[in-house]
């Protein structure tokens, strides 16, 4: 299909919306600093995955498909141009925030600006906390240039020894163990912060004292490596073993980007480039004195009012009585839970309750990402210890969480919990919990179907929605989804759930066709879709066809949108204090609404090569809550951007009262 926006360029436009939050003067200053961290972290992952894939494609297709190579090289050139453009805005924004923090008596000091007391503190902090965690690698002493790790930050050091010979060294910053930012003791009303980098710089004469160094220079380096897993179809190895080997290969991935201090000399830069095998034409990003701004996500709060967002405590769910068993309440009525506005403890309490309920026979769960110290894992273990049959489907290929998921699977197996690793060729991305319970002599299923992961940490800042239901039309089919992993050879028919790759794409096409037929016959055809990404070519073509034939369409796409908006179609994106992550599909008007929620975005992988589940919302009360939420999202005129073919990211404004959908939802649920 022609006239689509390239997904990588669209993704950079999304990340620009994150950068806009850092530029927004109505956002508290430290939160703006943290948005710089989010922007930088996003960009790291983009290079590790998307850019790395394009580079591999060029290498694989050279001499075989020159047209594809030319197109991909042009995209890589466009990416480089856009990244450098945004980099300029990034550093200007950082400097602006830096200056505004000074007005608030918050100062980020470097190693040359310290008072006598601060110098003493920095020396003591270095000796007590830092020295044991670093070891300089003296480049002139080794034959082979050291392996530089992805995600790590290095100080490249150049100095003269006492014999006038050149000294070059590398020091890896120990940010896995220590915060990048250290708050200095205050002698007045000001608050002073120093980078860990500068603590090391200050102590460099001490670190290199055996060389009696002179003219010490130090520059920050950060590189990004190809992060894709290469899993071949070697059936003689177990899936588990192949994944372990591929994770080892990832650590040796090819360098796809270098960010360096622009003050480095050309000779110093060339030495680095030759040793990491990166050409000067490929994804070199000149920067300032400090890199790895992803660490800004952990910028200290400082305990000052007005510098951070007000802490919004989760509200009690008005339809859940904490004094009564949750399972019984769900058997009476469906519940819609909105995270982070409602506490994730509802999910943990549900599993805990199921673990000790004598009527519960089995618990089934699909896990994609979980928190490092997961209460979910602990609750599942306790359920197994209480004699419940516990079955867990773990997706080993959840990107960048593969190692954690390997470890969780081992721990669960040790508790005699039955583990499935999904299906060959299909990632399990659905977010499902099924509790099977006997009630009055018959089995009743209770299901939790969510748009987000079972991850109590991200549930505090990801905007997700979940349905709790005992409706047998839904829960019986959730049971069938779990059965697929055990018996994939059986035929499965779903009449209520939309399940990829079985019926999801076809069902969405049919639902769109219903709205086309309505519009063609003089009725009101309406579609409202809220998702993270819209990329799939077939789905874009279908939505465009619907809009061209008179269906009124509202699309809320947080991230990548390859669709070029057309007539009868508005596309917006909300980026705010919480990460918008819920996926909704609403077909029809309020009077004849068909509404689904679940885990699927409109990307080819979600529709065709993942196990995804969308559930219908059947109860009228739940439908009304969903519609109220979606209409509130659409009214947002504080955080919404217009998504257009020019990738302008203009703020959506109207003459209505100010509406911040995230804050308004919080008030609505209170």
What residues act catalytically? 429
DSSP H or E segment with residue 642: strand 640-642
Q: How many helices (H) and strands (E) does the chain have?
A: 19, 26
User: What does DSSP assign to residue 51?
Assistant: I
- CA quadruple 92, 94, 98, 101: dihedral, nearest 10: 120
Length of the chain in terms of residues written: 670
d(CA 184, CA 200): 15
d(CA 455, CA 462): 10
Per-residue tokens: 111: 């190693």
Task: Return the closest-CA partner of residue 603 out of 531, 512, 507.
Answer: 531
The DSSP secondary structure of 422-482, one letter per residue, reads -BTTBEE--EEEEEEEEETTEEEEEEEEESS-S-TTGGGTEEEEEEEE--HHHHHHHHHHH
Crossing angle for the helix pair 537-548 and 504-520, to the nearest 10 degrees = 10
d(CA 99, CA 369): 38
Strands 462-469 and 335-339: antiparallel
d(CA 536, CA 562): 8
d(CA 137, CA 351): 50
Long-range pairs for 351-355 at CB < 8 Å and ≥24 separation? 351/376, 351/379, 351/380, 351/383, 351/433, 352/379, 352/382, 353/325, 353/326, 353/327, 354/327, 354/383, 354/388, 354/435, 354/437, 355/379, 355/382, 355/383, 355/386, 355/388
Per-residue tokens: 190: 């000001």
Task: Return the closest-CA partner of residue 641 out of 562, 557, 537.
Answer: 557
Question: From its phi and psi, is residue 105 left (phi > 0), alpha (psi between -120 and 50) or beta?
Answer: left
């Amino acid at each position: 299909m022609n006239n689509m926006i390239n997904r990588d360029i669209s993704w950079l436009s999304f990340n620009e919306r994150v950068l806009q939050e850092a530029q927004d003067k109505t956002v508290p200053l430290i939160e703006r600093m943290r948005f710089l961290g989010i922007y930088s972290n996003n960009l790291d992952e983009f290079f590790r995955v998307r850019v790395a894939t394009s580079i591999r494609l060029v290498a694989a297709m050279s001499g075989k498909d020159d047209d594809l190579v030319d197109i991909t090289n042009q995209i890589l050139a466009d990416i480089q141009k856009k990244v450098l453009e945004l980099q300029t805005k990034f550093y200007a924004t950082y400097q602006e925030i830096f200056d505004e923090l000074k007005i608030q008596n918050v100062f980020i000091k470097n190693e040359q600006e310290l008072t006598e007391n601060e110098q003493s503190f920095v020396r003591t902090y270095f000796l007590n906390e830092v020295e044991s965690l670093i070891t300089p690698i003296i480049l002139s002493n080794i034959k082979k240039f050291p392996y530089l790790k992805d995600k790590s930050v290095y100080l490249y050091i150049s100095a003269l020894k006492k014999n006038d010979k050149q000294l070059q060294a590398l020091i890896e910053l120990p940010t896995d163990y220590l915060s990048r930012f250290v708050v200095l003791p205050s002698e007045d009303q000001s608050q002073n912060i120093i980078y860990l980098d500068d603590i090391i710089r200050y102590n460099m004469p001490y670190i290199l004292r055996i060389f009696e160094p002179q003219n010490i220079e130090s520059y920050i380096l950060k590189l990004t490596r190809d992060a894709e897993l290469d899993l071949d179809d070697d059936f003689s190895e177990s899936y588990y073993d192949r994944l372990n080997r591929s994770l080892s290969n990832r650590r040796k991935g090819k360098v796809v980007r270098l960010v360096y201090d622009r003050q480095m000399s050309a000779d110093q830069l060339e030495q680095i480039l030759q040793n990491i095998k990166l050409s000067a034409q490929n994804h070199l990003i000149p920067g300032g004195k400090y890199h790895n701004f992803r660490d800004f996500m952990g910028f200290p709060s400082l305990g000052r009012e007005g510098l951070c967002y007000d802490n919004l405590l989760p509200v009690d769910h008005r339809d859940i009585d904490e004094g009564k068993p949750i399972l019984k309440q769900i058997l009476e009525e469906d519940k819609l839970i909105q995270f982070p506005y409602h506490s994730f403890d509802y999910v943990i309490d549900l599993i805990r309750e199921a673990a000790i309920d004598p009527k519960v026979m089995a618990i089934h769960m699909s896990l994609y990402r979980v928190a490092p110290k997961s209460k979910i894992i602990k609750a599942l273990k306790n359920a197994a210890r209480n004699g419940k049959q516990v079955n867990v489907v773990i997706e080993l290929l959840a990107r960048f969480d593969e190692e954690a998921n390997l470890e969780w699977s081992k721990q669960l197996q040790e508790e005699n919990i039955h583990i499935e690793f999904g299906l060959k060729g299909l990632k399990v991305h659905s977010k499902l919990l099924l509790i099977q319970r006997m009630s009055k002599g018959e089995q009743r299923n209770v299901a939790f179907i969510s748009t987000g992961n079972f991850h109590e940490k991200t549930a505090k800042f990801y905007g997700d929605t979940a349905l709790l239901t005992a409706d047998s039309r839904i829960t019986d089919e959730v049971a069938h989804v779990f059965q697929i992993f055990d018996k994939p050879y059986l035929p499965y028919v779903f009449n209520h759930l939309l399940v990829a790759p079985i019926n999801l794409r076809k069902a969405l096409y049919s639902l769109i066709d219903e709205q086309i037929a309505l519009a063609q016959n003089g009725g009101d055809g309406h579609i409202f879709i809220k998702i993270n990404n819209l990329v799939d070519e077939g789905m874009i073509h279908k939505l465009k066809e619907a809009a061209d034939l008179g269906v009124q369409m509202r699309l809320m796409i947080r991230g990548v949108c390859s669709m070029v908006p057309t007539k009868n179609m508005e596309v917006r994106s909300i980026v705010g204090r919480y990460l918008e992550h819920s996926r909704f599909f609403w077909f029809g008007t309020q009077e004849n609404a068909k509404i689904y929620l679940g885990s699927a975005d409109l990307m080819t992988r979600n529709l065709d090569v993942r196990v995804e589940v969308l559930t219908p919302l059947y109860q009228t009360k739940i439908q009304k809550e969903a519609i109220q939420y979606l209409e509130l999202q659409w009214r947002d005129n504080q955080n919404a951007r217009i998504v257009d073919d020019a990738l302008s990211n203009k703020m959506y404004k109207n003459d209505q009262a100010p509406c911040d959908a995230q804050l308004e939802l919080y008030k609505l649920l209170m």
